[in-house]
Amino acid sequence: MKDDLYERIGQALRSLLGDSGDSGPVPEFTLDPPRQAEHGDFACNAAMMLAKRLGQKPRDIAVALIEALGDAGGLIERAEVAGPGFVNLWLGGGQWQSLLRDILATGERYGGSDDGKGERVQVEFVSANPTGPLSTGHGRQGVLGDCIARLLDFSGYEVTREYYFNNGGRQMRVLGQSVRARYLEALGLAAAPPASAFEEGASWPEAIEGLPVVFPADGYQGDYISEIAESLRVQHGEALVEEPAEGVFRERAEREIFGDIRATLDSIGIVFDVYSNENELYDGGKIEEVLADLRQSDLVYDEDEAVWLRATALGLDRDRVLVKRTGEPTYMTPDIAYHREKLRRGFARVIDVQGADHKDQFPFVLAGLQALGLDADRVELVMHQFVTITSGGQQVKQSTRRATFITIDELVEQIGADVFRFFMIERKAEGHLDFDLDLAKDRDWKKNPAYYVQYAHARTAGVERKAAEAGLVLSGPDGFDPARLELPEELDLVKKLGEFPELVARAARAREPHHVAYYLRELAGLWNPYLQDGKRHRVVSDDVELSRARLGLARAIRTVLANGLELLGISAPETM
């Protein structure tokens, strides 16, 4: 309906331009709902866009535009000039209500589009190194990335979800050392320092009761480390005493931790198409290849026994080290190699969903791609801020190495995957997320926003069941007369349903799925009170035709609620 109106306004503008001898293209204009309902269904700024070209006052052009539009084939009931030259439009009777038939006919594809048809997009997210359980920050990133992928899928793109992790470098060495230390401790051959030794600024002795202390000062201290070590002790006894930390200890830790990560992601409905890691880049010679190609670009130089990227030549504020004086590449080098491989795989767009701690490194990765002659504009960053958990008015401390943080598994066990996902996605990614654990655990649907939306869907399914019990069943999209929906609150509901396709398109383009969560809360906020007033809004009544119309409205609302919840990866229950 809006597309049709937009096209008719475009035709009217072409006519006005032609009458003035202007054969240029019609300017882009907006057609949006005004802030105040009494100003019409849509407000258009087209007249102001033509003022300079036509050499006329915008209000005069607006009058001419209204004249050229007429009733737009029955779409427009009334049009007025407002302000400096806006055209306010009221749609003809029954236009909004007829939208319900389109929704019912389109069903689970309502709100979707072919905007991205034929375009391949990669979304990389989570990408946590296998050094411990997934934290709430990883959870926010996981839900954000998955929802972005769902939006792009729904918009016609060919989407690949990818998980990349660094399984090389210092972090993994410390992981292996941590497991080996706990293994030796379990055998009684070594001792770990006391917990106080890891407090900031504390020091600890080189030996405890005659045993050598082998636990690394910055090691991973969670119970999961001890559990991995104990499994090795049970399986191998003392046979691994002389084994280096880089061998079986690190390999077992990586395998088991990554297995737990995948299980955690599966529990919140996140599945990846591709898993890749840093070692694959080394094994495939991609790191050496990147370094060699960067040298040919004359944007790499040697200084202080290290290899540097001349990033300042590419507009950045400083140069960055690619290879340390020890001969070990920095994290940035495999990141550049990995992104080159992404682009080589033919993706039209590569979307990195990362935490705020990656903000500083990202421009240098793009600079590396630019130095390699690649189109860095095909890579974009969606950044999210950190998560804090509050309970009882107090913030829960978070520390990955000390494992004193709430994990995704622990949260999901308390509140369920649906509530977890909704709370993680309902805020704009660029903003800090304060996760209210007490509210998330609250089962009252009027208080918990996730349940509020789900309950709206469940109640709607209940309305349809009650109608079926009364023998009232819609035969299809044409099985009711939407013009019977005459109440202002019913028209408000239909208008809200009409916003969904554009809302989805905007959220997909901006990579901002929180708009969908906002929208669902607004729709539920109109529908739940409507159903509460059973006397005024009774769906099944003696007026059969009105009952059918209201049943059509209910089914359209259930369709949009279900489609929106699916975009957020949240179930749409039929009973609660």
Q: What is the CATH number of the domain that holds 496?
A: 1.10.730.10
Report helix, strand or coil for 447: coil
Q: Identify which of 201, 512, 168, 95 has the alpha carbon closest to the alpha carbon of residue 333.
A: 168
User: How does pLDDT run across 448-498, given as a tens digit for each residue?
Assistant: 999 999 999 999 999 999 999 999 988 888 889 998 998 989 999 999 999
Is residue 402 domain-resident? no
Q: Which two tokens stand for residue 23?
A: 């054969």
Give the mean model confidence (pLDDT) for residues 297-323: 92
- The pLDDT value recorded for residue 4 is 85
Residue type, 359: K
- The pLDDT value recorded for residue 230 is 96
User: How does pLDDT run across 180-213, given as a tens digit for each residue?
Assistant: 999 999 998 877 665 555 555 445 455 555 667 6
- The pLDDT value recorded for residue 467 is 94
Give the mean model confidence (pLDDT) for residues 94-105: 86
End-to-end CA distance of the chain: 35
**Does the pLDDT value for residue 142 go beyond 70?**
yes
Residue 36 CB partners (closer than 8 Å, separation 6+):
none
Is residue 430 domain-resident? no
User: How does pLDDT run across 145-182, given as a tens digit for each residue?
Assistant: 999 999 999 999 999 999 999 887 788 999 999 999 99
Give the mean model confidence (pLDDT) for residues 92-98: 75
Is residue 98 domain-resident? no
Give the mean model confidence (pLDDT) for residues 501-514: 97
Distance CA(353)–CA(332), nearest Å, equals 16
Distance CA(376)–CA(378), nearest Å, equals 5
- The pLDDT value recorded for residue 400 is 47
Give the mean model confidence (pLDDT) for residues 33-48: 89
Give the mean model confidence (pLDDT) for residues 544-554: 95
Count of structural domains, the chain: 2
Is residue 84 domain-resident? yes
412, 268 contact by CB (below 8 A): yes
- The pLDDT value recorded for residue 404 is 56
**Residue recorded with tokens 């504020």:** 317
Q: Give the burial class of 296: count Cβ atoms within 10 A of its Cβ; 0-12 exposed, 13-18 middle, 19 or more buried.
A: exposed
Q: Predicted confidence band at 418 (pLDDT cuts at 50, 70, 90)?
A: very high
Is residue 302 domain-resident? no
**How far from chain centre, in Å, is Cα 31?**
27
User: How does pLDDT run across 265-302, given as a tens digit for each residue?
Assistant: 999 999 999 999 999 999 999 999 999 999 998 889 99
- The one-character DSSP state at 25 is P
CA 393-221-361 angle, 5° bins: 80
Distance CA(228)–CA(212), nearest Å, equals 21
- The pLDDT value recorded for residue 219 is 87
Last residue of a domain, one of 71, 92, 113: 92
User: How does pLDDT run across 43-75, given as a tens digit for each residue?
Assistant: 999 999 999 899 999 999 999 999 999 888 778
Longest dimension (CA), the chain: 98
Q: What is the CATH number of the domain that holds 67?
A: 3.30.1360.70
Give the mean model confidence (pLDDT) for residues 8-27: 90
The H-assigned helical ranges of 431-513 are 437-441, 449-469, 488-498, 500-510
Is residue 394 domain-resident? no
**Does the pLDDT value for residue 311 go beyond 60?**
yes
Residue-averaged pLDDT of the chain? 91
Last residue of a domain, one of 92, 112, 133: 92
- The pLDDT value recorded for residue 166 is 86
Report helix, strand or coil for 396: strand
- The pLDDT value recorded for residue 147 is 98
- The pLDDT value recorded for residue 401 is 43
Give CA torsion, residues 535, 539, 540, 542, to 10 deg.
70
Domain with 56 in it = 2-92
**Does the pLDDT value for residue 19 go beyond 80?**
yes
- The pLDDT value recorded for residue 564 is 98
Is residue 292 domain-resident? no
User: How does pLDDT run across 77-93, given as a tens digit for each residue?
Assistant: 899 999 999 999 988 76
Q: Which two tokens stand for residue 559?
A: 């369709």
550, 539 contact by CB (below 8 A): yes
Last residue of a domain, one of 51, 67, 92: 92
354, 362 contact by CB (below 8 A): yes
Question: Residue 354, Cβ neighbours under 10 Å: how many?
Answer: 19
The residues that bridge with 382 in the sheet, in sequence order, are 353
Distance CA(1)–CA(37), nearest Å, equals 18
Give the mean model confidence (pLDDT) for residues 400-419: 81
